[in-house]
Structure formats: C-alpha cells, structure tokens
Amino acid sequence: MKIFPAIDLLNEKVVRLYQGDYEQQEVFGEDPVAFAQSFEEKGAKYLHLVDLDGAKDGELRYFSTAEKIVANTNLFVEVGGGIRDEATIERCLAAGVHRVIIGTLPQKNPTLAKQLIEKYGDKIAVGVDARDGKVAVEGWLETTETDAFDFCKELAAWGTKTIIFTEISRDGTGQGINIPLYQQLLQIQGVEFVASGGVATLADITALKQIGIPSAIVGKALYKGTLTLEEVLKEAEESR
C-alpha cells in the first residue's frame, strides 16, 4: 500500500486545517523542503503537496516550492491546489512533478477536464472532496449540488486513472477513516482510489488495506505525533 505524507501550504508555511477551514489552522513549520526531506529519510517514497492559497485563489501559488522538493528529494510528488489549465499542468510536469491533481476544474469546465484526462492519463489525478455527500470546490469554500459518488462514477467513465477522495468532515479531526464509504467507492471499476481525510490510527491503515484501497494520505496524525511515519509505512507494508 502506498502512503503519501501530506504537506499543505498556506502563507508559505506548512499548516494543517481542521475540516478544511482556513480559519482553523495550525502552523507546523516554514520550510516545506525540509519536511519533504525528513519524510524521505523516514522511508517515504511518495508526497502529497497541496497549495491551499492556490486552491482558494484559483492559481497555483507555490510552484517554486514543488520545484525545490522535486529537485531535492527522490520522492514521487503529486501537487494540487489551483491547477485550472493545461499550461500549469505542463509547467508542473516539466519541472519533474509526477502527478498533478485537479479538483475544481472537472466541475467548472468538464469539457476541458475530460480532454486533459484523456491526454495526460495517469499524470492526472482528480481530487473529489465531499461535504455531506456533495462535491466541494474552490478550496472547499463552495459546495456544489453534485453527488460525490455519482461524480466518481462519471470520472471513471471519462477514463480517470486516480481519484483522491477526501471526506471533509473528517479531515484534520483525527476521527478515523469512514471505511463503509470507501467500500462503496470500490464498487466503481477502472479507477484507483486514494483515501484522504481522517487517518488517525494504524487500524485505519490496516482496514483500508484489507478492503483493497491501494493508497492513503496521512497528514495531521504525523504532525501531532499520534502516529509516526515509520510505523505507518510498516503497517501499510505488513497488514493483510
């Protein structure tokens, strides 16, 4: 199972939010490259990097940070937050980013999103962020009327390779993962799901692996010290 430690950037600092609320943030540091290097030293092979300012403003703000992390680690880096056009995707991929995440674009401009998914294949992941079962966009500030499960089915039909599914109500709360939700998502064929939002214990990792989720993002638990990256990686590797 792949584990993606998360780095969220806001005001050029490494932060964690509570339920995606920009007003409820905790700052954990000012050097995202050092965090990425630390994750790699502890055994990580993957990194989930999110530009929260970009997500809110609709334009990737911290491209240079992604560039530095790629240049100074051997991590598989995926980047999201404010990626709304092909030029930004090209720029990220040219800099060595392995996968870009689009979330708002498929809702706001499905025609373009479909074309980009078709063109870039597994270089694009779609972030589906759900609030009360509905898709949220624009850095989670706007909730649409789109049913999140139905939208995932639609994305699969478009040929989407990877969906990063976040349950906003659990993100940054330490409540644990909603396993029945991911069991339901696994009914959708042809797409890989990355679980995001609420990983709090090793039991969450074990349960996700047992139902067949291939990847998980771990954030606040690592920063608060309730989980260590070493034990999460060990559990992901060993649990059956």
Catalytic residue, candidates 51, 53, 129, 171:
129
**Is residue 109 exposed (0-12), middle (13-18) or buried (19+ Cβ within 10 Å)?**
middle
Question: Is-catalytic flag, 150?
Answer: no
Report yes or no: 201 and 175 within 8 Å, Cβ to Cβ: no
Catalytic residue, candidates 8, 51, 53, 204:
8
What are the Cα distances from residue 21, in Å, to 82, 141, 172? 17, 8, 10
| CA dihedral over 50, 192, 70, 39, signed as positive or negative | positive
Question: Is-catalytic flag, 171?
Answer: no
**Is residue 210 exposed (0-12), middle (13-18) or buried (19+ Cβ within 10 Å)?**
exposed
Task: Please list the active-site residues.
Answer: 8, 129
